[in-house]
Amino acid sequence: MRRIPYILILCLSILFVQAKDFRFALFTDLHITHSTPAVEDLQRAVDQVNATSGIDFVLVSGDITEEGDLASLQKAKSLLDKLKVPYYITSGNHETKWSESGCTDFNKVFGADRFRFEHNGYLFLGFNSGPVMRMADGHVAPQDISWLKQELTKAGAEKPVILVSHYPLQDGDVDNWYEVTDAVRPFNIKVVLGGHYHSNRQLFYDGIPGLLNRSTLRAKADAGGYSIYQVTNDSIVVSEQTIGGEPKRWAGVSLYKRPDFSVNKSYPQVKMGWSAATGKGIYSSPVVYNNSVYVGDDLGDLSCYTLKEGKLKWTFKSNARIVGTPDAGNGVVVFGSADASIYGVDAKSGQLRWKMETPKAVLGAVTIRKGIAYVGGSSGSFYAIDVKTGRLQWEFTGVKGYIETKPLVYGDKVIFGAWDNNLYALEKATGRKLWSWDAGLTRMHFSPAAVWPVAAAGNVYVTAPDRVMSAIDLQSGKTVWRTKQSVVRETIGLSANSKQLYSKTMQDSLVCYATGPEVKQLWACNVGFGYEHAPSMPVEKEGVVFGSTRSGLLFAVEAKSGKLLWKYKVGNSLISTVVPLSKNRCLFTSSDGTVGLLEAGTK
């Protein structure tokens, strides 16, 4: 009888441990630069958390910096390191898009962009939701989804889990949100925490609760702030904590929808010739050379597939992600890697021919002309390299931002943009700067840096995030004309006869302009792809213009008339610039890890 009270006390003690409340803070959207009010805002948040009792740890859910640069990341870390409690951090789109290191500096500074830890019986998993380098919707890479599955499987179906990422996992924000929710739904997910919108919102991701949080930045009505979470059993309460103010609870609900593939029924003549699921994120376009297809991926692999069947022939591994599209010539495939190297790989065997090390990541796409490979890096340099030997022919060191575009080699010039607001023209033979063009923009985010320039009729043409199409004189670098007529962004293509320009608008349409000294729109086609901002270039082949979008849609338009020929949805993720093989066949790569050949027959 005397044992009963002891057993009851023991059981109650166990229940008390399982139900023990705990609190943590969440910082998001810090947007740190070298010396701005954002630094002071974060310092205030750190000081207030340190002065508040009962905070067990801090979660930091992305957009740590404004421009993704190393100095800002280091500054943010120096401030966060002043916290008296542990903190766990993951990246946001400002670290994964505007990143001179190809998003590798974040891992170097903070150790990783994922985190896993347990606290009071809860498992916390933080992960990157991209998009890596390309302007697209957020995207959770295949390897990150695999990691989530592995960690959740190890934890078991009963373990309560809190997920942390930057983007909200919903349609319009993360292109493959449904893949994430499908992967985690079998487990005991209590809530998904994030930021991105700089405001407090309560959402539901395919039935899973989601909470978005305010930025640490000061707003009109306050001096900055953050969120405080109180966890009790299976309930989670969030309060907004302003600097110097009292915590205030908040709540709200939102719905969602799954992607719609019914458009494919309207164009039954379009079929998948072949597709390969790589299980790795892909952010570059495919390259075709001697009946083989070459693809660089997010894990640093350059893979070779047969053009006819899509069968994997070989894989060469670099030490970090490949963002820029490779090129091939003279029996060699050349590509840059975020491991701060440029590689020349034998096109047949996949064996290393040569390697050139650089000071920083190389994120630029490669263009090969007459045995010379042209590519830009993140160290302020642009390189010309002998394809066969890997010998540096010349180096231009005057770039003020990192380079991701595919350079245009035209006549005696090499032309490219960088994330420093400039478009550069160099002498092809020597690398001497001929001119640079600046549209007078004050923010690096508006640079003509992701677009692949084209040239015709004495001008070079670009579009930029400022929604403007520009024509620049090839010889002088002076502006010929600029137009906002169609609200285009970071996409441009040139017709086979060099008389027409193509660009995607930011809502539904492909537009066509005439090359030349004046602004003249020739036609506009309402494709119906919705809101669009992905830098995938329209490409003409045999009178057909092929295009692709951030949401997995490919389409074809008649070049002469602007008539829509077909559209086909292959997924819900970013499709990079496609490679047409004929008027009815094109290769594509998708950020969900798919390489494929699409074929359009007769309807």
Inform me whether the pLDDT recorded for 18 exceeds 50.
no
Is the pLDDT score of 256 beyond 70? Answer: no
Rounded alpha-carbon distances, angstroms, from residue 295 to 65, 145, 271, 347, 480? 30, 21, 22, 12, 37
In tens, the pLDDT along 75-91 reads 999 999 999 999 999 99
DSSP state, residue 445:
G
CA–CA separation, 279 and 275 (whole Å): 12
| Structure confidence at residue 131 (pLDDT) | 87
> Quick check: 141 and 132 in contact, CB under 8 A?
yes
Please check the confidence at residue 15 and state whether its pLDDT lies above 50. Answer: no
pTM of the model: 0.85
Domain 19-249: what homologous superfamily?
A: Metallo-dependent phosphatases (3.60.21.10)
* DSSP-based helix, strand, coil % in the chain, nearest 5: 15, 40, 45
CB 163 within 8 A of CB 174: no
> What's the pLDDT tens digit per position in 347-387?
999 999 999 999 999 999 999 999 999 999 999 999 999 99
- The crossing angle, in degrees rounded to 10, of helices 70-80 and 37-50 is 20
At residue 257, the pLDDT reads 60
Q: Kindly indicate the confidence band of residue 253, based on its pLDDT and cuts at 50, 70 and 90.
A: very low
pLDDT score at 441: 78
Q: How far is residue 113's CA from residue 386's CA, in Å, rounded to a whole number?
A: 36
pLDDT digits (tens, 9 = 90+) for 153-198: 999 998 989 999 999 999 999 999 999 999 999 998 899 999 999 9
Contacts of 100 (CB under 8 A, 6+ apart): 68, 69, 70, 360, 361, 363, 378, 401, 402, 419
pLDDT value at 291 more than 50: yes
Cα separations in angstroms, 558 against 152, 510, 578: 48, 11, 16
pLDDT of residue 258: 72
Q: Give me the residues paired with residue 212 across strands.
A: 194, 201
Q: Which of 140-144, 254-258, 307-311 has the lowest mean pLDDT?
A: 254-258
Residue 251, pLDDT score: 59
* Token pair of 211 as six digits: 């909470």
Q: Which residue has the higher pLDDT, 6 or 559?
A: 559
What is the pLDDT, as a whole number, of residue 575?
97
Strand partners, 367: 374
Q: What secondary structure letter does DSSP report for 187? A: S
User: Which of 207-211, 355-359, 378-382, 550-554 is predicted with the least confidence, judged by mean pLDDT?
Assistant: 207-211
Place of tokens 């009071």: 120
Question: Is the distance from CB of 45 to CB of 224 less than 8 angstroms?
Answer: yes
What does the CA dihedral 478, 484, 488, 489 come to, rounded to 10 degrees?
60
Mean pLDDT of the chain, nearest integer: 93
- Rounded to an integer, what distance in angstroms lies between the CA atom of residue 79 and that of residue 424? 37
Strands of 500-504's sheet in order across: 493-494, 500-504, 507-514, 521-531
CB 306 within 8 A of CB 347: no
* For residue 548, pLDDT beyond 70: yes
Going by pLDDT thresholds of 50, 70 and 90, the confidence category of residue 132 is: confident
- For 171, other C-beta atoms within 10 Å of its C-beta total 19
d(CA 196, CA 418): 25
Strand partners, 353: none
pLDDT at res. 234: 61
DSSP output for 1-60: -THHHHHHHHHHHHHHHHT--EEEEEE----B-SSSHHHHHHHHHHHHHHTSTTEEEEEE
Q: What is the DSSP letter of 450?
A: S
Query: Taking 60 as the threshold, does the pLDDT of residue 4 lie above it?
Result: no
| Residues 57, 329: Cα–Cα separation, whole Å | 53
- Using one digit for the tens of pLDDT, what is the confidence trace for 397-448? 999 999 999 999 999 999 999 999 999 999 999 999 999 999 887 789 999 9
pLDDT at 243: 95
For the cut 60, the answer to whether the pLDDT of residue 142 exceeds it is yes
Q: How far apart are CA 32 and CA 67, in angstroms?
A: 8
Given a cut of 60, whether residue 537 has pLDDT beyond it is yes
Is the Cα torsion angle 99, 101, 106, 107 positive or negative in sign? positive
Does 8 score more than 50 pLDDT?
no
Nearest CA to 445 out of 14, 93, 73, 189 is that of 93
